[in-house]
Every structure is written in C-alpha cells, then in structure tokens.
C-alpha cells in the first residue's frame, strides 16, 4: 500500500473504508459473535460513528471514552466499561450516563459496581493460561480461573446480573490456540455457574486478534474457525460470544508519514537514522521493540543496509529499533519521506502533549464514513 500525501510531517492518515472492511471481514468470520470495538485502539469520532452504524458495541476504558462515544450518538446500552481499574466515582458517572455493563476482576471492584451501578451486568475477567502475546498484559489483569466462578456467584448475590467469564489473551496474539485455551477455561467457569443455577449469558473472548506487521499473522478466517470450534465444544449453546478487538479493526487502516531529520554513522559503527516521529509522538508500541512496523520510502529500489531508527527528542529512550533488524536504503538522507505502515492502532492517542516541545501526532481521516 502506498499512500502519498502532501500534509505536514509527521502525521497519521487513516482510511475509513478499511475500518469498514475489517469490521465486515470479522463479522463474516464470526457471524454469531457480538463485536465490541476497544475504543482505546483509535478513539477517532469518525471511526466510532462508522462502527456504530455497522452495529458494533464499544469497550470503553474511562469516563472520557464514554463521553466521546456519547458525543457520537452511541447508545450507552451498547457500551461496556471494560477497564477493571476504576474509581467509585467513575462507576457512578458511567451509570448516570446509562452504562449498564461492566468488567471486573476483584471483589473490591465488584462491591463498588454493586453499590454505584445496581442491577448492571458484569463480566469477570480471569487470567487465561494462554501463550504470551507480542504486547503482553503480564499479571496486571484477571483473577484466577477458579475464583471467577465464585466472584460471579457473588455478583448474583449482590443483585447484579452475572453476565459471564471474560479473558484477553494479550494484544497481538499470534497463536490461535490461545483462544482455544481461554474458551475451554471459560467453559469450565460457565459449567460451575450453571451447576449453581446461574445462567451464563455471555462469554467475552477479548481482543488480541493480530495483524501482519513485518511478520505475517494469522488472519481472521483462521482465528474464526478455531474460536467457533472451541465455542461449540466448550460453551453452553445459549451463550453469546463477545469479541473485543482494537488492533484488528484499525491497525492496518493508518499510515504514518514521517521525514528523515538526520543520518549519521555513530561511534558504535552503526548507521543511525533519526525521524521526526518517535516513541513519544506516536510510536509508543516500539517500547521493548514489541511491534516491528514496516517502513516504505521513495528510494526502496536502491540498495539497503541495516539501520538503527530513532525518534526526534533529546531522550535516550526515544529509539524505535536497535535490536530488530531494520533494512533501509543506503541513499536515505535528511528531508526524505518515510512511511510507516499499519500504524492505525495505538499511535496517535498515545502521543504526548508536548514532550520536548513536540506536538501530538496530527491525524487526517480519509474514506467514507457512510457507504
């Protein structure tokens, strides 16, 4: 994909037509699942309105994201406050706005939901025994699987609607078996609840669906087949499946247009290429070099050689890649444009307000919001 643009560098150009295509492809791969967009991946009003029109639900992580969705006309009934870390006041504000679905992973949070969002439906996030993803959550979220059933029983006793179990296999998860493992564990939790006469209405299989960056990832059809087979085998027939993607809906819809600021042979003997985009103005997911983005230049027909790629700030950590093997044209020089592909997820919203005086990443939206 080559996108040319004459706008000031750096900027992110997002194509709405690709968002729609991604949504429909996922819907085709998982026709009975409810698709809940994780707003944090790309909180652009145009994307929210488009996905609302397509019939998506919305995973919101904060009062700010609730307000953003409300301002686009989204019905709060299709929002789920999916962040297990939330203050009592935030729960109350969400409830006052009409949100009636919440995720939790601790007894404390459950108590707060029962008090400030009475009668709501809750999903209990457990830590699935899935293989590690490219950008893992570690132990930050999720109770032990056997605790989830107890917490959902407790939810029922507190007057809440025990929706069902919820897991997230980690973002950019490359192994489809991760969902099979999670669904099997969710099935055991569902069975434990059904044995106590508490019906399980939903199983949320989270996000984590990968896209192809420098390395290819399994596509939605392959994932859909694994997920459908596991759900058929392990979940009660009447359970609704919820899938909660961020990256898979928006990752390949954006291209960052950047510019080479400087090229030098550093004392370490390596060629360093400094761009006007870095870790702090959009490329946050290069932390630990987790995500290996693809680069495109106007000199791609010239010979290539390895390069370290760094950002523009005076910060030592503002280096995108020094371990990942990045090959760039040997002729690349200051002023050349560099496009960074598949940068539609977790970029613009991550960019800092003014670190080193650099402004947040500008976004340009192209394509049709409505067909």
Q: Which residues make up the interface to ligand PLP (CB under 6 A)?
A: 38, 40-41, 59, 82, 168, 171, 206-209, 244-248
Residues 254 and 273: their CA atoms lie apart, in Å, by 22
Cα–Cα distance list, 29 to 24, 212, 221, 226 (Å):
9, 17, 5, 10
Residue with tokens 């987790």: 290
Query: If phi over 0 gives left and psi between -120 and 50 gives alpha, with beta otherwise, what is residue 75?
Result: beta
Smallest distance from ligand PLP to CB 158, Å = 22
Q: Which residue is nearest to ligand PLP (CB)?
A: 207
Residues 45 and 30: their CA atoms lie apart, in Å, by 25
What is the torsion angle, in degrees rounded to the nearest 10, for the CA atoms of residue 291, residue 296, residue 301 and residue 307? Answer: -50
- Length, in residues, of the chain: 371
Residue number with CB closer to ligand PLP (319 or 341)? 341
Six-digit token string for 244: 């909660």
Residues 229 and 198: their CA atoms lie apart, in Å, by 24
Nearest-5° Cα angle at 365, 359 to 369: 145
Residue 98 contacts residue 120 (beta carbons within 8 Å): no
Phi/psi of residue 317, each to 5°?
-85, -5
Smallest distance from ligand PLP to CB 67, Å = 18
Residues 123 and 108: their CA atoms lie apart, in Å, by 14
3-state secondary structure of 100: coil
Smallest distance from ligand PLP to CB 328, Å = 28
């Amino acid at each position: 994909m080559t996108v040319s643009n004459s706008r000031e560098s750096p900027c992110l150009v997002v194509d709405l037509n690709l968002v729609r295509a991604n949504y429909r492809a996922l819907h085709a791969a998982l026709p009975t699942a409810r698709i809940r967009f994780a707003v944090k991946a790309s909180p652009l009003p145009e994307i929210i309105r488009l996905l609302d029109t397509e019939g998506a639900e919305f995973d919101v992580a904060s009062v700010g994201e609730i307000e953003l969705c409300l301002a686009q006309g989204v019905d709060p009934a299709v929002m789920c406050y999916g962040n297990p870390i939330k203050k009592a006041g935030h729960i109350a504000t969400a409830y006052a706005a009409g949100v009636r679905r919440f995720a939790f992973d601790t007894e404390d949070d459950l108590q707060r939901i029962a008090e400030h969002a009475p009668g709501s439906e809750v999903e209990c996030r457990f830590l699935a025994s899935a293989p590690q993803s490219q950008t893992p959550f570690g132990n930050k979220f999720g109770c032990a699987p056997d605790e989830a059933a107890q917490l959902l029983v407790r939810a029922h006793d507190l007057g809440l609607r025990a929706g069902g179990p919820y897991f997230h296999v980690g973002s950019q998860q490359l192994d489809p078996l991760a969902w099979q493992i999670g669904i099997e564990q969710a099935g055991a939790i569902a069975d434990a609840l059904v044995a106590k006469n508490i019906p399980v209405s939903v199983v949320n299989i989270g996000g984590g669906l990968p896209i192809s960056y420098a390395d290819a990832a399994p596509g939605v059809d392959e994932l859909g087949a694994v997920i459908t087979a596991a759900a058929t085998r392990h979940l009660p027939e009447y359970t609704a499946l919820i899938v909660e993607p961020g990256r898979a809906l928006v990752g390949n819809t954006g291209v960052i247009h950047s510019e080479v600021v400087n090229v030098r042979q550093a004392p370490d003997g390596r060629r360093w290429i400094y761009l006007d985009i870095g870790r702090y103005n959009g490329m946050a997911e290069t932390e630990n070099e987790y995500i290996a983005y693809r680069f495109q230049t106007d000199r791609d027909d010239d010979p290539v050689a390895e390069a370290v790629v760094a950002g523009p700030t005076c910060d030592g950590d503002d280096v995108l890649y020094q371990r990942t093997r990045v090959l760039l044209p040997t002729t690349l020089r200051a002023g050349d444009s560099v496009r960074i592909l598949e940068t539609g997820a977790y970029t613009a919203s991550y960019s800092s307000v003014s670190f080193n005086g650099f402004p947040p990443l500008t976004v340009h939206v192209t394509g049709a919001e409505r067909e």
